[in-house]
Amino acid sequence: MVEEDFKRQINSLSKVIDDLDYYQILKVDQMSFEEDIKRAYFEESRIYHPDKYYTDPPEFQQKITAIFKRVCEAYRVLSDPEKRPFYTKLINGPDRKKYLRFDLRLLKAETEKAEDEGSSPLAKKYYKMAKTAIQNKDFKAAKINLQLAIKMESKNQTFLDKLKEVIDILASRKGL
Amino acid sequence: MGRAVGIDLGTSTSCVSIVKDGKPIAIPGPDQNLIQASVVSFLEDGNRVVGNSAKRMMIENAENTVYSAKRLIGRKYFSAEVKKAQAVSSYKIVEGENQSVRIRVRDRDYSVPEVSAMVLMEMKKIAEAYLGEEVDKAVVTVPANFNDGQRQATKDGGTIAGLNVLRIINEPTAAALAYGYGKGLKQKIAIYDLGGGTFDISILEVGEDVYEVISTAGDTYLGGDDFDDRLIDYFAERFMREHDLDIRSNRMALQKLKNASEKAKIELSEKLETRVLLPGIMETMDGPIDLDYTINRNYFGQMVLDLIQRTFKVCDEALQNGRLTVGDLDALILVGGPTKSPMVQEAVKNYFFKDPAGEVDPELVVSIGAAIQAATLTERKAGALLLDVTPMSLGIATAGGLMDTLIERNTPIPTESSRIFTTTHDNQTAVRIKVFQGENKFYEQNEPLGEFRLADIPPAPKGDPKIEVTFEIDANGIVNVTAKDKDTGRAQSVQLTVSGGLSKDEIDKLRKEHKDKDEEVATFKPTAELSE
């Protein structure tokens, strides 16, 4: 059986977990190195891993699983070189409370903002048409428009990436 | 209360293990073999034979002997994989309800989980005969790259077999567990798992009792069976050129050639050259014709080179996703029968710049790992703690055709992600959500998991209801969906339609049916006590 002390600890942690950021969940500070974060993840897993409590009452298992999920979530974000700085900036900003749990959509929106839509009007136009074609799932048209955009600006990484994506989709469609 | 075992339910072979006095061991079957064929043969008298003895019936009872059912599990009837299996199988694969796959044998249709259940029941019996005790719990392994439907179907198979499936774990993860058991390692290891029908690569970091999967990738339709198919095609083509007869058009002849090809493949692991002799394989007006060819290892190696190369593409992907290079790895572990082949070993060694760990038996290691996990879960000891990941991204369909990814691949499990849904017109009472797994940004290109329907929404102006839907991937890698009204906190009913799956009622019915049948034909009783 689980000790009473530990049960009490789990109960109080369950109550406050929604107010903790990922650093607090893993008990590391914001300057920690990658290895420290991994070490913390392993240490917290040794305490909260639900497999250790598999034979305990379901209510307790549910509580500990909920905590462990947050530990995993915290590690997922803090161990990712792209997600971690983005998350850290948000929780240190004015809307800290809103951003305690990481949202993939926010990061995606941020990356899309950084997209290079071309500098010449013609390249911009072709890229826009390609994007519309993708929306309409007309990948052949998208491919042609992207190729035209690349003709205008051969070094635009956004165009090149998009073209590769479209070619992949066309190839996978052929396989069906 | 019964005992808990670990079962490796493989495409071509299966194995059952247990931890006995702190030592994990694989258990021998009635023929003293530690490995049993995942084959079920349905006899004319209504009985069935499972395991190595069923495999011996593949020729005489070809149409009624089911093998490699794992290739079909959790698949939809119209998928490319099922079509491919249909073309090469000697048994009949037909369409069932709800796009599911059914296997038609002796005028009866069986679901794929049912066939898996038959193999699992055999493994259960083997363990019971050895232990002299009831076995009612098991950890069952699946390829790391199995999706939700395939995992669920495997779990259903366990339930039908009368087992409480404690956990579904990934085969490479289980292998890592067996490798690290009791060693207190601190290493990064790669598990190269080439099975009969699937390929997985997992990269783990072991920190004494903690096993963290850093990344995993796989191909659920690439394995040793494909090596056999290459040989079959080679012999059949050559025979056709010489005699203008297609062996593949005759089920029994094809089965003979299949067995001979598999045997030749295994022999080429030991010998540089082997002879395949099938006397009178085809009948003609002028009498029977023999097939008599020799093949050498080098030539066979060239035949399957592209298949082996395909596995390295998957390895590249796993390393890249884990932000690692082969130089970061401390150990390499080979899993699966096909890795016994010198050609595979040589190629893998060259890719990883490393010799594989020698002390691991590629054919037993997965079931041993599963047994260790079963002991950890049931014996309440701080055994090995697995930190596994989900092999593919989970997302929902959006209006523009794009997939809205909720949980990315290689996310540690268990995990969850929530979204708030609302209605688009006044007094709308239901909302549908389509869920997919896969990496393509367009949901149509990914694997559909099913459709969730939020029903009984109280009538309200559009946009007013706020329903929070939580998508969870549990420790089995299985997706669960729950919903609640954001304002009232009241649970919101969710109806799920999984394409291709079995309903709970069907599973219960089959479980009872098989239990009754089992009691009725309890003919197989081991007579001799098996020794270690």
pLDDT digits (tens, 9 = 90+) for B272-298: 999 999 999 998 888 899 999 999 999
B470-488: per-residue pLDDT in tens?
A: 999 999 999 988 888 888 8
B46 touches chain A (CB under 8 A): no
User: How is residue B502 annotated by DSSP?
Assistant: P
| pLDDT value for B532 | 34
Q: Which residues lie closer than 8 Å to B379 by C-beta, 6 or more apart?
A: none
The C-alpha of A163 sits at a distance from chain B's nearest C-alpha, in angstroms, of 14
pLDDT at B519 over 80: no
What's the pLDDT at A137?
80
Q: Are A41 and B387 in contact (CB < 8 Å)?
A: yes
Encode pLDDT of B170-223 as tens digits: 999 999 999 999 898 999 999 999 988 889 999 999 999 999 999 999 988 889
Is A69–B442 a contact, with Cβ atoms under 8 angstroms apart? no
Among candidate residues B44, B13, B36, the one with its CA nearest the CA of residue B108: B44
HEC letters along chain A = CCCHHHHHHHHHHHHHHHHCCHHHHHCCCCCCCHHHHHHHHHHHHHHHCHHHHCCCCHHHHHHHHHHHHHHHHHHHHHCCCCHHHHHHHHHCCCCHHHHCCCCHHHHHHHHHHCCCCCCCHHHHHHHHHHHHHHHCCCHHHHHHHHHHHHHHCCCCHHHHHHHHHHHHHHHHHHCC
Q: Are B319 and B325 in contact (CB under 8 A)?
A: yes
**Average per-residue pLDDT in chain B?**
90
Active site residue B70: yes
ipTM value for the complex: 0.87
Distances (CA, A) of B238 to B213, B233, B242, B300: 45, 8, 6, 14
Per-residue model confidence as pLDDT tens for chain A (176 residues): 578 899 999 999 999 999 999 999 999 999 999 999 999 999 999 999 999 999 899 999 999 999 999 999 999 999 999 899 999 999 999 989 999 999 888 888 877 777 778 888 888 889 989 888 887 888 899 999 999 999 888 888 888 888 988 888 888 776 54
Distances (CA, A) of A49 to B10, B29, B475: 28, 35, 11
Question: Which residue did the predictor score with more confidence, B49 or B424?
Answer: B49
For residue B529, pLDDT beyond 90 = no
Residues whose CB falls within 8 Å of the CB of residue B329, separated by 6 or more in sequence, listed in order: B188, B189, B190, B203, B352, B354
Q: What is the pLDDT of residues B421-464, one digit of tens each?
A: 888 889 998 888 899 999 988 898 898 888 888 888 888 998 88
- Would you call B205 an interface residue with chain A, using a CB distance cutoff of 8 Å? yes
At residue B463, the 3 state secondary structure works out as coil
- The question of whether B193 is a catalytic residue gets the answer yes
Q: Could you tell me the sign of the dihedral formed by the alpha carbons of B346, B349, B353, B355, in that order?
A: negative
Dump the DSSP string for B92-103. EEEE-GGG-EEE
Residue B456 annotated to the active site: no
- Greatest pairwise CA separation for chain B in angstroms: 83
User: Any idea which of B170-184, B389-403, B504-518 has the lowest mean pLDDT?
Assistant: B504-518
Res B523 pLDDT > 50? no
> Which CATH code fits A4-113?
1.10.287.110
Residues of chain B positioned with their CB less than 8 A from the CB of A72: 387, 411-415
Chain A residues whose beta carbon lies within 8 Å of the beta carbon of residue B398: none
Q: How far is CA B492 from CA A118, B395, B430, B454, B503, in A?
A: 47, 20, 11, 7, 21
Residue of B nearest to A1 (CA): B380
**In 3-state terms, what secondary structure has residue B469?**
strand
Res B234: pLDDT: 95
Domain boundaries in chain A?
Answer: 4-113, 121-174
Q: How far is A92 from chain B (nearest CA, A)?
A: 23
Residue B470's SS3 state is: strand
Interchain proximity B377–A73, CB inside 8 Å: no
Q: Which domains does chain B have, with CATH numbers?
A: 3-222+313-388+509-520 (3.30.420.40), 224-302 (3.90.640.10), 394-492 (2.60.34.10)
Q: Among B322, B87, B311, which Cα is nearest to B203's?
A: B322
Nearest to A50 among B209, B415, B475 (CB): B475
Cα separation values, B21 from B24, B25, B122, B372, B379, Å = 8, 10, 24, 12, 12
Peptide bond into B414 cis (omega under 30): yes
Q: Do the Cβ atoms of B521 and B47 come closer than 8 Å?
A: yes
Per-residue pLDDT band at B520 (split at 50, 70, 90):
low
| Helix intervals (H) in B281-387 | 297-321, 342-352, 365-379
Confidence of residue B59 (pLDDT cuts 50, 70, 90): confident
Mutation site for A-interface testing, chosen from B385, B394, B443, B447 by largest number of A Cβ within 10 Å: B385
Q: Tens digit of pLDDT for each residue in B335-358?
A: 998 999 888 999 999 999 999 998
- A4-13, B150-159, B461-470, B502-511: least confident range: B502-511
Confidence of residue B500 (pLDDT cuts 50, 70, 90): low
State the pLDDT at residue B524.
Answer: 45
Residue from B114, B193, B212, B388 carrying the catalytic annotation? B193
Residues 6+ apart with CB under 8 A from A98: none
CA–CA dist B135, B201 (Å, integer): 31
Residues 6+ apart with CB under 8 A from A139: A133, A166, A169, A170, A173
Contact B385 A51 (CB under 8 A): yes
The whole-number pLDDT of residue A174 equals: 66
Taking CA–CA distances from B440, the nearest residue in chain A reads A169
User: Which residue shows structure tokens 């079957």?
Assistant: B29
Rounded to 5°, the CA angle B219-B222-B227 comes to 160
pLDDT of B1 > 80? The answer is: no
Compute how many other C-beta atoms are within 10 angstroms of the C-beta atom of residue B159. 19
Using CB atoms, pick whichever of B207, B413, B416 lies closest to residue A42. B207
d(C-alpha B249, C-alpha B257), whole Å: 12
Reported as type and span, the H/E element at residue B340 is: none
User: Which residues, in sequence order, are CB contacts of B281 under 8 Å at separation 6+?
Assistant: B239, B247, B253, B256, B257, B288, B289, B290, B291
Sheet architecture: strand order including B65-66: B48-50, B40-42, B65-66
Tokens 């009837």 -> residue: B77
Is the CB of residue B395 less than 8 Å from the CB of residue B57? no
Whether residue B99 has pLDDT greater than 90: no
For residue B56, count other CB atoms closer than 10 A to its CB.
16
Chain B residue with the nearest C-alpha to that of A138: B401
Any residues with CB less than 8 A from the CB of B320 and at least 6 apart, and which? none
